[in-house]
Amino acid sequence: MFQTAPIEAASQSELTSQMAARLRTALTTHLQQAYAPDQRKNLRLFSATETADLLGVTGQFLRKCHSDGSLPEPEVIKNGRRFYSGDEILQARHFLEASSRKPGKYLPGRREGDKLQVIQLMNFKGGSAKSTSAIHLCHYLALSGYRVLAIDLDPQGSLTGFCGIQTELEFEGASIYDALRYDDPVPMSEAVVETYFPGLHLAPARLVLSEFETETAVNAGRGVAFFEKLSLAIQSVESDYDVVVIDSPPALGFLTLTGLYAATSVIVPMTPSMLDLASTQQFVEMTSAYLGVIEDTGVKLDHDFFSFLITRDDPSDIPSQQIVSLMRALFQDRVVGATGLRSTAIGDASMLKMSIYEVARSEMTRSTYDRAKNSMDAVGSEIAGMLQKAWGR
């Protein structure tokens, strides 16, 4: 039961303390109702139609695989209809890949000689749908058979929350800060946790991550290099993953820069408005200056792609479409062709710290759901194609 009586306090510190306590109680109550008893999210089941679509096969082929024993039956069968867990879909990918004549058809990740792909999403303009874009990309790639590591470099922990770890309630265990800190850092493997989403691991963020900015400022004055810290941490676990997705804070500070150094590719999400366009121009200009400082140390940065992603796109809004057209005219193929649409389905899912992939079609207006999911699929598919191109395929 939430407290609704007026807050009376003798001092400002006592007032804010009581406000924080009420918010904490409300969050705890909400999370206990929204999640499983252990406060961890669970991925929904997928219908046979959805599963066949994810695997890139027909429903008839999937049924044949079950009938001839080449694929085990899923645990859940209701009224003769099969429903698959995320783990079962991933297991099916491994079974089908083993018998496929075309390598990478069901498991499209790295092969021998391929370098790890590290994608950083960055922009210092709040509201650019950066974290929303990051989690949808992570989920799309994981469902497509890639081994994905998500790294949350934002002390606010938005991506961490999307992955089922509630920073509002704190959590035990190491975070990305523990792998980056200057005093007695832990191995990156200790900062990575499995998520409820098969194929996706996470290096979570906590509020203490903001200390990295202060510590770096102090150590930089002593001549200690900071920009390679994340890169070295990732190198220690790179054999376990195909793709790393980094969600940066909405600022061009030391955290964003260490991510930029580690990245093999960069995506700049932006909404199509004149205000965001002006902000993005300043952001890119400042990024250029900082990259110049890093390169002056003798380091050569060579990103496979540096692209803009239009988010919260409304095709019916003429002024915003003028901005989209301007971006495409200025940067041609450096603007991702697909756009993340402005959608109530995505907005409603995000409010519950979910991606559209975690929501069943039956839970929303179908046309709204299909439009939103098709949008995220198109963005994910195009970026996956960019990854394949970077691998020479």
Q: Is the pLDDT of residue 110 over 60?
A: yes
Q: Is the pLDDT of residue 293 over 90?
A: no
Give mean pLDDT, residues 345-367.
Answer: 92
Give mean pLDDT, residues 245-264.
Answer: 93
**Contact residues for 3 (Cβ-Cβ < 8 A; gap 6+):** 22, 25
Q: Is the pLDDT of residue 254 over 70?
A: yes
pLDDT score at 294: 78
pLDDT score at 36: 53
pLDDT score at 218: 87
Q: Is the pLDDT of residue 362 over 50?
A: yes
Chain-centroid distance of CA 314 in Å reads 22
Looking up tokens 């990309």 gives 137
> Is 205 in contact with 157 (CB distance < 8 Å)?
yes
Q: Is the pLDDT of residue 263 over 90?
A: yes
Residue 4's pLDDT band (cuts 50, 70, 90): low
pLDDT score at 1: 45
Distance CA 251, CA 122 (A): 8
Give mean pLDDT, residues 84-94.
Answer: 97
Residue 386's pLDDT band (cuts 50, 70, 90): very high
pTM for this model (two decimals) = 0.89
pLDDT score at 300: 77
Give mean pLDDT, residues 25-42.
Answer: 62
Which range has highest mean pLDDT (6-10, 11-15, 205-209, 273-277)? 205-209
What burial class does residue 351 get, using C-beta atoms within 10 Å of its C-beta: 0-12 exposed, 13-18 middle, 19+ buried?
exposed
Q: Is the pLDDT of residue 114 over 90?
A: yes
| Residue spans per domain, the chain | 46-99, 117-391
Give mean pLDDT, residues 368-390.
Answer: 96
Which of 202, 203, 201 is CA-nearest to residue 185?
203
pLDDT score at 31: 56
Distance CA 16, CA 21 (A): 9
pLDDT score at 281: 86
Which is more confidently placed, 357 or 294?
A: 357
- Give the number of other CB atoms < 10 A from CB of residue 29: 12
Which is more confidently placed, 11 or 75?
A: 75
Give mean pLDDT, residues 133-147.
Answer: 98
Distance CA 152, CA 158 (A): 8
Mean pLDDT estimate for the chain:
89
pLDDT score at 168: 59
- Distances from the Cα of 195 to the Cα of 38, 148, 198, 352, angstroms: 14, 11, 7, 17
For the ranges 232-236, 276-280, 378-382, which has the lowest average pLDDT?
276-280
Q: Is the pLDDT of residue 50 over 80?
A: yes
Give mean pLDDT, residues 70-86.
Answer: 94
Fold for 117-391, please state it: Rossmann fold (3.40.50)
Which is more confidently placed, 244 or 4?
A: 244
Residue 302's pLDDT band (cuts 50, 70, 90): confident
Taking every pair of Cα atoms in the chain, the longest distance, rounded to a whole number of angstroms, is 74
pLDDT score at 11: 65
Give mean pLDDT, residues 163-178.
Answer: 80
Which range has highest mean pLDDT (141-150, 332-341, 344-353)? 141-150
pLDDT score at 32: 59
> Is 262 in contact with 120 (CB distance < 8 Å)?
yes
In this structure, whether the domain defined by 46-99 belongs to CATH 1.10.1660.10 is answered with: yes
- Give the number of other CB atoms < 10 A from CB of residue 393: 11
Query: Which two structure tokens, joined as six digits, stand for 316?
Result: 């019916």
Q: Is the pLDDT of residue 185 over 50?
A: yes
Percent of the chain with pLDDT over 90: 70
Distance CA 224, CA 30 (A): 44
Which backbone phi and psi does 376 adopt, to 5 degrees?
A: -70, -35
Percent of the chain with pLDDT over 70: 90
Q: Is the pLDDT of residue 49 over 80?
A: yes
